[in-house]
Amino acid sequence: MKRTGWLLWWAGLLGQLAGCGGNGGAAPPQLGLQAGESRLFSVPLTLGDTPTAVSVTVADNPEDPLLPLVQLDSADETFNDDRVTVTRASGTVIEGQLATTRATTWAVLIDWLSNGSRVRLTLVANAQTRTGEGNLTASSNSGSGSDAGSGSGGQDGGTQPTVTDPETPAPTDLTVAASNTVVAFDNTAGLPLRGRLVTPAGTGPLPALVVLHGCQGLWDDAANWVLKGQFQDWAAICQEEGFVALFVDSFGPRNLPSFCAKAPPDDAVCSPAYERTKDAFGALNYLRGLAYVDADRIGVLGFSHGAETAIAALVDTAYVAQPTWTVKSGGVTWPVAAPQAPPAAGGFACGVAYYPGCGFYSYWGSPGNANSGKYRPTAPLAILHAARDPLYTGGYPPVLVQKAVNGGASAANGNPTALQAFADASHSFDGKTSGADGAASTAARTVARAFFNAHLRP
């Protein structure tokens, strides 16, 4: 492969070119490379009838580990000496315009899923789309200092990329190492999100969970992406059980330090009923893009505000459909958005909701009347509550479950809905280590683990 015309993207400039700078602009996940190391990938591509390949060199950026350095090259000579202008950097996607020597403008879309996963590259010209998709074929090379990216596979005889025959789809690498990294992705409305992706050591396809925090947020130290102790526990549990887990930060991107006791209309910015579900489904889409994740075995785990989001993310939108949607608070009725429909590929396979407030401001009808309004999930749902929690003693959780049963939720229909309250436990008992809350935490985690194993294993 002739290796002239390297196209260097300083990814730290992506945000400026895309109208968003620094860590505020979402970017590909960091690859965890060693100092002075880069990785070279190749993607099979057919342009018309001519097989070729596009190679990509990625190196960690010392200025911002979440914004790696990226280079492109191609065996097709027509790409040599071309220039790239980045037009968007959002989530796990970089879009740019590649002006070729053929006086044709190509749109370049590289979808970064994760190291060891698959990559898709699409070229669009004159209304014609040509796509190459392949397994990331990686080789590591030592560079020197900040030139690590250019030291990989350059003209000085570095290791060349392995080119996969475009006529034969590359085998998907389902092997994954234990890891815990910060990743970036978009919700279904295009809002850039960050979270922690935790993987076990194993061979896929693996089951996975989207984990949704409560009203106090995800981070113990947001500046350094350190999870709260409760979620560090769950990261370890997921690795032990063999689940991939994506812990989603819904508050940081919305500049919300916390979101407790918010009522309509102030809760609209992150309503668990119709807004935060976009985050849950964005995380679901992200996990489905990982080669080692089983796309049909992804569950949702939520706590308090996140539990309400999980309940809403599981709703059967066709069953509850109505012309207009409202919520009620302080004697006022507020018009709001309809529930978010799941992605075209389908919703979550099951869900566990820890101590949710099941009133939803009358979003599913009167929270005290099982015959008012509608609710039912599309998949198995377990609600784990605290017997001394006012959100439970108010009586709304049993009513919500009864609404689901009234709508036909059952094991026979594939969407059983169950409620379990733990004796003497208070709200936010998960992660506690003593007293009734400690006992409830231990017992509920045992229930949750068994539930997810029952519904996410073949």
The two three-digit tokens of residue 78, written as one number: 């027509």
Q: Higher model confidence: residue 434 or residue 24? A: 434
Q: Has residue 389 got a pLDDT over 90?
A: yes
The edge-to-edge listing of strands for the beta sheet with 105-112 is 83-90, 93-99, 105-112, 118-125, 128-135
Per-residue model confidence (pLDDT) at position 30: 39
Q: What is the DSSP letter of 434?
A: S
Longest dimension (CA), the chain: 74
Q: What is the DSSP letter of 26?
A: -
Q: Has residue 202 got a pLDDT over 70?
A: yes
Q: Has residue 100 got a pLDDT over 70?
A: no
Per-residue model confidence (pLDDT) at position 155: 25
Percent of the chain with pLDDT over 70: 62
Average pLDDT, the chain: 74
Kindly give, in sequence order, each residue whose CB lies less than 8 Å from that of residue 435, ignoring residues fewer than 6 positions away.
none
Kindly give, in sequence order, each residue whose CB lies less than 8 Å from that of residue 34, ignoring residues fewer than 6 positions away.
none
Secondary structure of residue 263 in the 3-state scheme = coil
pLDDT band per the 50, 70, 90 thresholds, residue 195 = very high
Kindly give, in sequence order, each residue whose CB lies less than 8 Å from that of residue 322, ignoring residues fewer than 6 positions away.
338
If you average pLDDT over each of 68-77, 161-170, 236-245, which comes out highest? 236-245
Lowest mean pLDDT among 149-153, 290-294, 407-411: 149-153
Q: Where are the beta strands (DSSP E) in 214-338?
A: 219-221, 226-227, 244-249, 293-303, 325-329, 332-336
Q: Has residue 106 got a pLDDT over 90?
A: no
Cα distance between residue 310 and residue 383, in whole Å: 10
Cα distance between residue 91 and residue 8, in whole Å: 20
Per-residue model confidence (pLDDT) at position 223: 87
Q: Has residue 158 got a pLDDT over 80?
A: no
User: pLDDT tens digit string along 229-287?
Assistant: 999 999 999 999 999 999 999 999 999 999 998 999 999 999 999 999 999 999 999 99
Lowest mean pLDDT among 35-44, 158-167, 263-272: 158-167
Lowest mean pLDDT among 61-70, 204-213, 325-334: 61-70
Does the CA dihedral 315-244-28-71 come out positive or negative?
negative
Question: How many CB atoms neighbour CB 129 within 10 A?
Answer: 9
Amino acid at 324: T
List the domains of the chain with CATH numbers. Answer: 7-147 (no CATH), 175-456 (3.40.50.1820)
The DSSP secondary structure of 121-188, one letter per residue, reads: EEEEETTEEEEEEEE---EEEE--GGGTTTTSS-TTTPPPPPPPPTTSPPPP--EE--EEEEEEEE-T
Cα distance between residue 15 and residue 38, in whole Å: 22
User: pLDDT tens digit string along 333-354?
Assistant: 999 999 999 999 999 999 999 9
Secondary structure of residue 227 in the 3-state scheme = strand
Amino acid at 386: A
Per-residue model confidence (pLDDT) at position 175: 85
Nearest to 315 by CA among 273, 263, 369: 273
Q: Has residue 46 got a pLDDT over 90?
A: no
Task: Give the Cα-Cα-Cα angle 290, 283, 45 (nearest 5 degrees).
Answer: 35
Per-residue model confidence (pLDDT) at position 79: 42
pLDDT band per the 50, 70, 90 thresholds, residue 73 = low
Q: Model pTM greater than 0.85?
A: no
Per-residue model confidence (pLDDT) at position 176: 87
Percent of the chain with pLDDT over 90: 58
The two three-digit tokens of residue 201, written as one number: 């050591």
Per-residue model confidence (pLDDT) at position 301: 98
